[in-house]
Amino acid sequence: MTETQHFWRWSEKTYQAPDLDWRAASSITVGVDVGSVSSQAVILADGKLLAFNSTRTGSSSPDSALRAFRGAAEPIGLTLDDISYAVGTGYGRVNVPFADRTITEIACHARGANHMGGPSIRTILDMGGQDCKVIRIDERGKVLNFIMNDKCAAGTGRGMEVIADVLSVPIEDIGRRSFEIDEEPAAVSNVCTVFAKSEATSLLRAGWSVNKVLAAYCAAMAQRVAGLIERMQVEREFFITGGIGKNIGVTRRIERLIGVEAIKLPADSVLDPQIAGALGASLFAHSLYRKAQKEAAAAGGTAPGNGGTPGGAAEPAGEGAGVAG
């Protein structure tokens, strides 16, 4: 291998439903979540999961949005022209060039978590690349209350990536390895990721194993996040979304600290907690599209699938093609 290894990089993930023919669907709705670290696209055919893709956010948000969409759509021959309605969300949501509307990531994560974890979910912890939020929702996935923190990299996905790089441990292995220790160490004292780099080096010099340093980091991150959750008084039926949701080194330690176990996706689920925001956006896109269709029909307007609706107006030609195809 001549290429430098990027320890912080998550492997990209893509999924296409094997038994769904999108060409027979009357609507193709898309949700795109452009996060600070990674971007996801979810495509629904008549409201059912058709495909999704997760990719690294590059320096340009519009490019990242397109890349995420193409990753999901190209394997099944779907193009931008086939989209009935698209919703952008996340940090870069205003830069999704093909979006008909933008919706905040708070509402999208709420809706996505409600869909993934079921209507009993009441508290969501969204741990993303750049920040961390706790959201309380009702049984329909509507946001009742949320808290977001004025955050730095400590306690976010980006902070964990820096640690992965410093310790040369692939980010996917951090969670598992952080439990392969003799005894749980105290959390690292440095809150700041910049200073944590030098702290990690001195811990290694002091004879700590890499796994033990990882454990101390995961514990520190869990402590920061748990403090935020406690302010919201977690109700049961608690669900974790976002990239760090995949790091059991952090999530299990959070569960220990707050004494509540998070609802997990079934082992055979194709879903991924990282796509919750994009999934929520695609569900919003689906209902907004249906609403627009109904309004158009009520106005005595055009046949479903054609332009002339507020949502469809952006891409009238594309829609007709999508349905006819």
Partner 1 sequence: MIANYGYEDGSGFYYITVDTDICIGCTEYGCTKVCPGNVFAVEMDDYDDFVCTVAEGARKRLRELCSVCKAQNGSGGTERKLPCTAACPGGALRHSW
Partner 2 sequence: MIVAGIDVGAKNVHAVLIQDGVVLAKAAVVSGFDQEESAERGLQEAARVAGIDRSAIQAIAATGAGRKALAIAGQQPTEVLADGRGAAKLRPGARTVIDVGADEARAIRLSPEGKVLDFAINEKCAAGAGAFVEAMSRALDMSLGDFATSSLGSTQSIPMNAQCTVFAESEVVSLIHANTPAADIARAVHDAMASRVSAMVRRIGVDDPVVLGGGAALNVGFVKSLSEALGGVNVEVLPDAEYLGALGAALIAWESAS
Residues that bind partner 1 (CB under 8 A): 103-104, 106-107, 142-151, 227-228, 231-232, 284
Piece in contact with partner 2 (CB under 8 A), picked from 47-55, 101-109, 119-127, 193-201: 193-201
Instruction: Select the binding partner of residue 148 from partner 1, partner 2, none (C-beta < 5 to 8 A, by kind).
Output: partner 1
Nearest approach in angstroms of CB 146 to partner 1 is 6
Q: What does DSSP say about strands 123-127 and 132-137: parallel, antiparallel, or unpaired?
A: antiparallel
User: What is the spatial distance between Cα 91 and Cα 37, in angstroms, rounded to a whole number?
Assistant: 10
Instruction: Select the binding partner of residue 289 from partner 1, partner 2, none (C-beta < 5 to 8 A, by kind).
Output: none
User: What is the spatial distance between Cα 2 and Cα 195, in angstroms, rounded to a whole number?
Assistant: 31
Piece in contact with partner 2 (CB under 8 A), picked from 148-156, 165-173, 240-248, 278-286: 148-156
Q: Which two structure tokens, joined as six digits, stand for 47?
A: 């409201």
- 159 binding partner 2? (CB under 8 A): yes
Neighbours of 125 (CB within 10 A): 28
User: What is the spatial distance between Cα 242 and Cα 59, in angstroms, rounded to a whole number?
Assistant: 20
- Smaller CB distance to partner 1: residue 55 or 102? 102
Nearest approach in angstroms of CB 192 to partner 2 is 5
- Smaller CB distance to partner 1: residue 123 or 211? 123
Q: Please enumerate in sequence order all residues whose Cβ is within 8 A of that of 173, keeping only pairs 6 or more positions apart, or say none.
A: none
Contact with partner 2 (CB under 8 A) among 12, 77, 180, 195: 195
93 backbone dihedrals φ, ψ, rounded to 5°: -60, -30
Nearest approach in angstroms of CB 302 to partner 2 is 42
Look at the block and give the residue holding tokens 């995420």: 68
Nearest approach in angstroms of CB 158 to partner 2 is 6
Closest CA to 188 of 173, 166, 171: 166
- 53 binding partner 2? (CB under 8 A): no
113 and 276 Cβ atoms separated by less than 8 Å: yes
Binding site residues, partner 2, CB under 8 A: 36, 59, 130, 150-153, 158-159, 162, 190-195, 198, 202, 205
